[in-house]
Amino acid sequence: MSDLLETQSERLLEAVRGLLAQKGIASPSEISERIAITDRASPGQGARMVAKAWTDPAYRALMLADGAKAAEAIGIPMRGMPPLGVLENTPELHNLVVCTLCSCYPRAVLGYPPFWYKSAAYRARAVRDPRTMLAEEWQTVIPAEVKLRVVDSTADYRWMVLPLRPAGTDGWSEDRLAAIVREGDMIGVTIPTV
Protein backbone atom coordinates (compact mmCIF):
# COMPACT_ATOMS: atom_id res chain seq x y z
CA MET A 1 0.00 0.00 0.00
CA SER A 2 2.80 2.47 0.82
CA ASP A 3 4.39 1.85 -2.61
CA LEU A 4 1.08 2.76 -4.23
CA LEU A 5 0.80 5.98 -2.21
CA GLU A 6 4.40 6.88 -3.01
CA THR A 7 3.76 6.35 -6.73
CA GLN A 8 0.58 8.44 -6.57
CA SER A 9 2.42 11.21 -4.69
CA GLU A 10 5.20 11.23 -7.28
CA ARG A 11 2.66 11.45 -10.12
CA LEU A 12 0.83 14.30 -8.39
CA LEU A 13 4.09 16.18 -7.82
CA GLU A 14 5.08 15.75 -11.48
CA ALA A 15 1.62 16.95 -12.57
CA VAL A 16 1.90 20.08 -10.40
CA ARG A 17 5.39 20.80 -11.73
CA GLY A 18 4.07 20.33 -15.28
CA LEU A 19 1.24 22.79 -14.67
CA LEU A 20 3.63 25.35 -13.16
CA ALA A 21 5.80 25.11 -16.26
CA GLN A 22 2.84 25.13 -18.67
CA LYS A 23 1.41 28.29 -17.10
CA GLY A 24 4.83 30.00 -17.08
CA ILE A 25 4.93 30.23 -13.28
CA ALA A 26 8.11 28.20 -12.76
CA SER A 27 10.26 26.25 -15.15
CA PRO A 28 11.63 22.82 -14.23
CA SER A 29 15.09 24.37 -13.84
CA GLU A 30 13.72 27.06 -11.49
CA ILE A 31 12.02 24.40 -9.38
CA SER A 32 15.21 22.33 -9.26
CA GLU A 33 17.23 25.42 -8.34
CA ARG A 34 14.88 26.29 -5.44
CA ILE A 35 15.01 22.72 -4.12
CA ALA A 36 18.82 22.77 -4.27
CA ILE A 37 18.97 26.13 -2.46
CA THR A 38 16.69 24.84 0.29
CA ASP A 39 18.67 21.61 0.60
CA ARG A 40 21.91 23.63 1.04
CA ALA A 41 20.42 25.94 3.69
CA SER A 42 21.47 25.35 7.28
CA PRO A 43 21.47 27.03 10.69
CA GLY A 44 25.03 28.13 9.89
CA GLN A 45 23.61 30.72 7.50
CA GLY A 46 21.43 32.24 10.21
CA ALA A 47 24.40 32.14 12.60
CA ARG A 48 26.41 34.19 10.08
CA MET A 49 23.60 36.75 10.03
CA VAL A 50 23.52 36.90 13.84
CA ALA A 51 27.30 37.28 14.13
CA LYS A 52 27.34 40.06 11.54
CA ALA A 53 24.50 41.86 13.35
CA TRP A 54 26.46 41.63 16.61
CA THR A 55 29.51 43.28 15.02
CA ASP A 56 28.04 45.64 12.40
CA PRO A 57 25.42 48.19 13.58
CA ALA A 58 24.33 49.04 10.02
CA TYR A 59 23.76 45.38 9.21
CA ARG A 60 21.89 44.91 12.52
CA ALA A 61 19.56 47.78 11.57
CA LEU A 62 18.97 46.22 8.12
CA MET A 63 18.32 42.81 9.65
CA LEU A 64 15.73 44.20 12.06
CA ALA A 65 14.08 46.29 9.32
CA ASP A 66 14.02 43.61 6.60
CA GLY A 67 15.38 40.14 7.34
CA ALA A 68 15.11 39.04 3.71
CA LYS A 69 17.25 41.96 2.49
CA ALA A 70 19.77 41.23 5.24
CA ALA A 71 19.92 37.58 4.15
CA GLU A 72 20.38 38.60 0.51
CA ALA A 73 23.14 41.02 1.56
CA ILE A 74 25.30 38.09 2.70
CA GLY A 75 24.43 35.85 -0.23
CA ILE A 76 21.43 33.88 1.03
CA PRO A 77 18.89 33.68 -1.83
CA MET A 78 15.41 34.76 -0.72
CA ARG A 79 13.63 35.05 -4.09
CA GLY A 80 10.20 33.47 -3.87
CA MET A 81 10.34 33.06 -0.10
CA PRO A 82 7.91 34.62 2.40
CA PRO A 83 9.11 37.79 4.14
CA LEU A 84 11.55 37.22 7.01
CA GLY A 85 11.05 39.11 10.24
CA VAL A 86 13.77 39.26 12.88
CA LEU A 87 12.88 39.57 16.56
CA GLU A 88 15.57 41.10 18.77
CA ASN A 89 16.12 39.73 22.25
CA THR A 90 17.07 42.36 24.82
CA PRO A 91 17.75 42.26 28.56
CA GLU A 92 14.04 43.08 29.04
CA LEU A 93 12.49 40.89 26.29
CA HIS A 94 12.96 37.29 25.15
CA ASN A 95 11.31 36.09 21.93
CA LEU A 96 10.20 32.53 21.19
CA VAL A 97 9.12 31.45 17.69
CA VAL A 98 6.50 28.78 17.07
CA CYS A 99 4.22 27.81 14.22
CA THR A 100 0.95 26.89 15.86
CA LEU A 101 -0.58 25.31 12.76
CA CYS A 102 2.19 23.26 11.20
CA SER A 103 5.89 23.92 10.66
CA CYS A 104 6.30 27.34 9.01
CA TYR A 105 9.99 28.01 9.34
CA PRO A 106 12.59 30.29 7.68
CA ARG A 107 14.07 27.41 5.66
CA ALA A 108 16.02 29.64 3.30
CA VAL A 109 18.00 30.95 6.28
CA LEU A 110 17.96 28.10 8.82
CA GLY A 111 17.40 25.01 6.67
CA TYR A 112 14.79 22.39 7.46
CA PRO A 113 13.05 22.71 10.85
CA PRO A 114 14.19 20.46 13.68
CA PHE A 115 11.86 17.53 14.40
CA TRP A 116 10.68 18.96 17.72
CA TYR A 117 9.64 22.28 16.10
CA LYS A 118 6.92 20.41 14.16
CA SER A 119 5.70 18.42 17.16
CA ALA A 120 2.24 19.04 18.61
CA ALA A 121 3.79 19.07 22.11
CA TYR A 122 6.17 21.96 21.29
CA ARG A 123 3.49 23.94 19.47
CA ALA A 124 1.00 23.60 22.32
CA ARG A 125 3.38 24.14 25.23
CA ALA A 126 5.11 27.11 23.58
CA VAL A 127 1.79 28.93 23.61
CA ARG A 128 0.26 27.55 26.80
CA ASP A 129 3.24 27.59 29.20
CA PRO A 130 6.41 28.78 27.46
CA ARG A 131 8.52 29.52 30.57
CA THR A 132 8.01 26.06 32.02
CA MET A 133 8.57 24.40 28.65
CA LEU A 134 11.84 26.29 28.10
CA ALA A 135 13.09 25.39 31.57
CA GLU A 136 12.08 21.72 31.39
CA GLU A 137 12.98 20.92 27.79
CA TRP A 138 16.00 23.17 27.16
CA GLN A 139 17.13 24.25 30.64
CA THR A 140 16.59 27.83 29.47
CA VAL A 141 15.42 29.87 32.43
CA ILE A 142 13.92 33.23 31.55
CA PRO A 143 13.84 35.43 34.67
CA ALA A 144 10.38 36.55 35.79
CA GLU A 145 11.25 40.21 35.20
CA VAL A 146 12.02 39.50 31.52
CA LYS A 147 8.96 39.63 29.28
CA LEU A 148 8.55 36.45 27.23
CA ARG A 149 6.88 37.03 23.86
CA VAL A 150 5.70 34.06 21.77
CA VAL A 151 5.51 34.87 18.05
CA ASP A 152 3.64 32.73 15.54
CA SER A 153 5.48 32.03 12.30
CA THR A 154 3.01 31.68 9.44
CA ALA A 155 2.89 30.77 5.77
CA ASP A 156 2.80 34.51 5.02
CA TYR A 157 5.60 35.66 7.34
CA ARG A 158 8.54 33.75 8.81
CA TRP A 159 10.40 34.74 11.96
CA MET A 160 13.82 34.21 13.48
CA VAL A 161 15.41 35.56 16.66
CA LEU A 162 18.43 37.83 16.96
CA PRO A 163 19.68 36.60 20.35
CA LEU A 164 21.54 38.68 22.88
CA ARG A 165 25.29 38.65 22.38
CA PRO A 166 26.91 36.81 25.28
CA ALA A 167 29.13 38.76 27.67
CA GLY A 168 32.84 38.17 27.22
CA THR A 169 32.76 38.10 23.41
CA ASP A 170 34.03 41.61 22.73
CA GLY A 171 36.69 41.60 20.05
CA TRP A 172 35.67 38.21 18.66
CA SER A 173 35.61 37.79 14.89
CA GLU A 174 32.37 37.12 13.03
CA ASP A 175 33.49 33.53 12.39
CA ARG A 176 34.17 32.92 16.07
CA LEU A 177 30.83 34.46 17.05
CA ALA A 178 28.93 32.47 14.42
CA ALA A 179 30.42 29.27 15.85
CA ILE A 180 28.63 29.80 19.19
CA VAL A 181 25.18 30.50 17.68
CA ARG A 182 22.95 27.42 17.68
CA GLU A 183 19.72 26.78 15.83
CA GLY A 184 17.76 26.96 19.09
CA ASP A 185 19.17 30.44 19.78
CA MET A 186 17.55 31.68 16.57
CA ILE A 187 14.20 30.12 17.54
CA GLY A 188 14.40 31.32 21.14
CA VAL A 189 14.50 27.98 22.96
CA THR A 190 18.15 28.44 23.93
CA ILE A 191 20.46 31.35 24.66
CA PRO A 192 24.00 31.62 23.25
CA THR A 193 26.75 30.95 25.75
CA VAL A 194 30.53 31.08 25.66
Q: Residues 80-91: what's their mean pLDDT?
A: 95
Residues 75 and 22 reside in one and the same domain: no
Average model confidence (pLDDT) across the chain? 93
65 and 49 in a common domain: yes
Whether 192 maps to a domain, the answer reads: no
CATH of the domain at 154: 3.90.330.10
Check if 104 is active-site. Answer: yes
Catalytic residue among 103, 119, 153, 173: 103
Q: What pLDDT was estimated at residue 68?
A: 97
- The SS3 assignment for 160 reads strand
Looking at the structure, do residues 91 and 147 belong to the same domain, yes or no? Answer: yes
The candidate with the shortest Cα–Cα distance to 133, out of 145, 121, 144, 143, is 121
Position with higher pLDDT, 5 vs 41: 41
What are the tens digits of pLDDT across the range 11-55? 888 888 888 888 988 888 888 887 787 788 899 999 999 999 999
Q: In terms of domains, do 33 and 88 share one?
A: no
Residue 67: CB atoms within 10 A of its CB come to 26
Mean pLDDT of 48-67: 98
Selecting among 9, 32, 102, 173, the annotated active-site residue is 102
> Is 121 in the same domain as 89?
yes
Which residue is catalytic, options 99, 119, 153, 173? 99
Do 73 and 34 sit in the same domain of this protein? no
Q: Which of 104, 119, 153, 173 is catalytic?
A: 104
Does this model's pTM top 0.75? yes
Predicted pLDDT at 36: 81
- Let me know if residue 155 belongs to a domain: yes
Shared domain check, 25 and 65:
no
Q: DSSP H helical segments within 66-181, as ranges?
A: 67-73, 107-110, 120-128, 130-138, 174-178
- One domain, residues 92 and 57: yes
Residue 94 belongs to some domain of the structure:
yes
Q: Give the structural domain span for 55.
A: 42-186
Please tell me the least confidently modeled range out of 1-5, 71-75, 87-91, 134-138: 1-5
For residue 10, the model assigns a pLDDT of 86
Residue 102 annotated to the active site: yes
**94 shares a domain with 34:** no
Same domain, yes or no: 147 and 128 = yes
